[in-house]
Chain A
Amino acid sequence: MILRSLSCRFLTIALCDAAEPWQLGSQDAATPMMQGIIDLHHDIFFFLILILVFVSRMLVRALWHFNEQTNPIPQRIVHGTTIEIIRTIFPSVILLFIAIPSFALLYSMDGVLVDPAITIKAIGHQWYRTYEYSDYNSSDEQSLTFDSYTIPEDDPELGQSRLLEVDNRVVVPAKTHLRMIVTPADVPHSWAVPSSGVKCDAVPGRSNLTSISVQREGVYYGQCSEIRGTNHAFTPIVVEAVTLKDYADWVSNQLILQTN
């Protein structure tokens, strides 16, 4: 199990788009946003290790040199201007170095920069999700909408992940700007897909936007991230990214199926 997880990490045979047993790191990035998140994590980890080493050294040194046996009479230093200036300025500089990429990433996520090509509405219910593709409607009647239920625990087929697979996946085109509108119909929900770097809360009476652009075709798994009652664990999210042409075919097939 651990081996499988490690091979998933280091030998990129297949990219990790679903949670693995014993997984320690992030799932592989499918969007520039997730790549940004992973990079920021690594950037901050550099400072984290720097601070860890420095503080551990001070702590061990203090314990080593200033104990009762080696140093019975403690020094009574009340203040030292130089050290106080250094220990104030230096952490601020570190925080600055963390803050700059962090804010850059944060604002790049919610910026309205490009016109999206497709709007998909993810509507949370107790306990399933409804997806509405309303760009192809010609009236207020929904032409393309479906419910996405989890495959029950005793029912998965060979190769399906337990409690991660759904009956109807969200089909999206790859390399296309998507607008996800996330809203629930009853209690607060959440729409989260780790590979896409998306976690968007769904608040009743409010519609939240999150934009994604999936860079490669694949199947991405996510789970609800808002604790909201008994079947919280049983509403996974499965995004299937296909080519734009396959997406158009899928849409027209669905339209024919649903209108007849």
Chain B
Amino acid sequence: MAEIEIKTAPADFRFPTTNQTRHCFTRYVEFHRCVSAKGDEAAECEKFAKYYRSLCPAEWVDRWNEQRENGTFAGPL
């Protein structure tokens, strides 16, 4: 049985409020900007992926992935 690592996205002082919508969105954008700057395999981008997966509901991520494929994603990529 693989050991489970108890670790999640850290508290972010840009988003100190109850509303964490932007937190999730920002982490998602950060990951994709990181990937487009450093390439698909960049190890330092992986942490952003972990963060947004922890913070974003799966449904949102699916929708955003779809939008990125169609070129209709609203964020600054």
B5: A residues at CB distance < 8 A? 136
- The smallest C-beta distance from A71 to any residue of chain B, in angstroms, reads 57
Tell yes or no: A240 within 8 A of B by CB.
no
Q: How many residues of A contact B (CB 8 A)?
A: 42
Query: Is the pair A207, B20 in contact by a Cβ cutoff of 8 Å?
Result: yes
- Check if A159 is an interface residue, CB within 8 A of chain B: no
> Using an 8 Å CB-CB cutoff, how does the interface string of B8-43 with A read, 1 for contact, 0 for none?
111111011111110110000000000000000000
Contact of B8 among A116, A173, A255 (CB under 8 A): A116
Are A137 and B12 in contact (CB-based, < 8 A)?
A: no
| Residue contact B4 to A210, C-beta cutoff 8 Å | no
Is B19 touching A208 in the complex (CB atoms < 8 A)? Answer: yes
In the complex the two chains form, is A132's CB within 8 Å of B58's CB?
Answer: yes
Chief secondary structure at chain B's binding surface: loop
- Tell me the bound Cα distance from A132 to B61 in angstroms: 13
Decide yes or no: A209 and B20 within 8 Å by CB, A112-B12, A135-B54, A181-B55 being known contacts: yes
CB <8 Å contact, A244 and B6: yes
Contacts of B67 in A (CB 8 A): none
User: Which stretch (A34-42, A78-86, A118-126) binds chain B?
Assistant: A118-126
16 A-B contacts (beta carbon < 8 Å): A110-B16, A111-B16, A117-B7, A117-B8, A123-B59, A135-B50, A140-B65, A179-B8, A181-B55, A207-B23, A207-B24, A209-B23, A244-B6, A247-B6, A248-B4, A248-B6
* A140-B61, A209-B20 known, 18 other contacts, Cβ within 8 Å: A110-B16, A112-B13, A112-B15, A117-B6, A121-B57, A132-B57, A140-B53, A181-B24, A181-B55, A185-B59, A206-B21, A207-B20, A207-B55, A208-B19, A244-B6, A252-B4, A253-B1, A255-B4
